């Protein structure tokens, strides 16, 4: 639990999987404490904006959310902080690095609430724009959808604990999400949803996808629904259109085995984001 509070749900799970040898691309985490320190000049403003959000109508909530995000995006990152992050990235990823920047929230992937898909993710980020994207990810904890989710589930909007993951970019050929137990309720099945290109197009429902159902006990593929894919430029190779399966049987098996292994490691039903690069190598994101 301490790791979740320090790094958020997603990052703490990635750290556990990385330690167990899962194929997780190199990454670093800006802890919840580090982010809280960055936001300290705005703490009073944020608390003032968030006070009473639970009672606001949607139009007012959207306005407040926009004002909070604008304040955060306008922050000047401390020079020492920006230089330290850039140095760590060069050391970990190399001089001409490209990274994905995404959130990890304390409470995310937990029993009481899930913020999956609520916050911003940025792909192919280079050093010159890293600070801007870090602030944008932090600000997205206060976007309309995230605050509406908190409003609906009666979660506090003040004191949000958010960490930021900076992870080496995978040159994805195909990507997807997997669930160790079928989200529709059939607990005997693993569900895998995959599409061409990066995972953000899939999570955001911007591309057509295939869905595969795998039996947890036998690891046999019980069903597959193959979609005709047409992917926008941001998510897949331009003009890609095909009706062949996104994943091979071997790749489906690989994803299923890691999904079950993650469930065992984490001690709870697991959902994974994954990509196969253009050489066919699997990465857990």
CATH assignment at residue 8: 3.30.1490.20
Same domain, 97 and 185: no
Mean pLDDT taken over the chain = 87
Fill in the DSSP letter of residue 237: S
pLDDT digits (tens, 9 = 90+) for 221-264: 999 998 754 444 444 555 555 578 999 999 999 999 999 999 99
Same domain, 115 and 200: no
Same domain, 192 and 267: yes
The predicted model gives 48-76 an average pLDDT of 90
For residue 176, what pLDDT is reported? 94
For residue 118, what pLDDT is reported? 74
**Which residue range forms the structural domain that includes residue 230?**
172-284
CA torsion sign, 109 to 202 to 250 to 167? Answer: negative
Same domain, 160 and 176: no
R_g of the chain, CA atoms, integer Å: 19
Q: Which of 273, 260, 255, 265 is nearest to 102 (CA)?
A: 273
Assign 265 to helix, strand or coil: helix
Same domain, 184 and 99: no
């Amino acid at each position: 639990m301490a790791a979740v509070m320090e790094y958020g749900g997603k990052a703490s799970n990635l750290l556990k999987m990385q330690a167990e040898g899962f194929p997780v691309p190199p990454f670093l985490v800006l802890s919840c404490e580090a982010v809280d320190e960055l936001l300290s000049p705005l703490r009073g403003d944020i608390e003032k904006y968030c006070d009473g959000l639970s009672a606001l109508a949607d139009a007012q909530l959207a306005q407040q959310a926009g004002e909070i995000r604008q304040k955060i995006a306008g922050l000047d990152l401390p020079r020492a902080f920006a230089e330290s992050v850039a140095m760590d990235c060069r050391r970990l990823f190399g001089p001409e690095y490209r990274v994905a920047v995404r959130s990890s929230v304390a409470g995310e992937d937990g029993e009481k609430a899930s913020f999956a898909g609520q916050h911003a993710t940025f792909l192919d980020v280079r050093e010159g724009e890293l600070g801007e994207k870090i602030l944008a990810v932090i600000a997205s904890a206060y976007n309309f959808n995230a605050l509406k989710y908190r409003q609906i589930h009666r979660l506090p909007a003040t004191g949000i604990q958010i960490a930021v993951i900076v992870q080496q970019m995978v040159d994805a050929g195909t990507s997807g999400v997997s669930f160790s137990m079928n989200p529709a309720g059939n607990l005997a099945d693993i569900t895998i949803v995959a599409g061409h290109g990066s995972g953000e197009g899939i999570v955001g429902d911007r591309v057509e996808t295939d869905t595969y159902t795998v039996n947890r006990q036998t690891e046999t593929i019980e069903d597959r629904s193959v979609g005709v894919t047409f992917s926008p430029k941001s998510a897949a190779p331009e003009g890609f259109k095909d009706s062949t399966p996104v994943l091979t049987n071997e790749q489906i098996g690989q994803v299923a085995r890691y999904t079950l292994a993650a469930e065992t490691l984490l001690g709870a039903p697991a959902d994974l984001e994954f990509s196969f690069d253009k050489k066919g190598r699997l990465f857990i994101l």
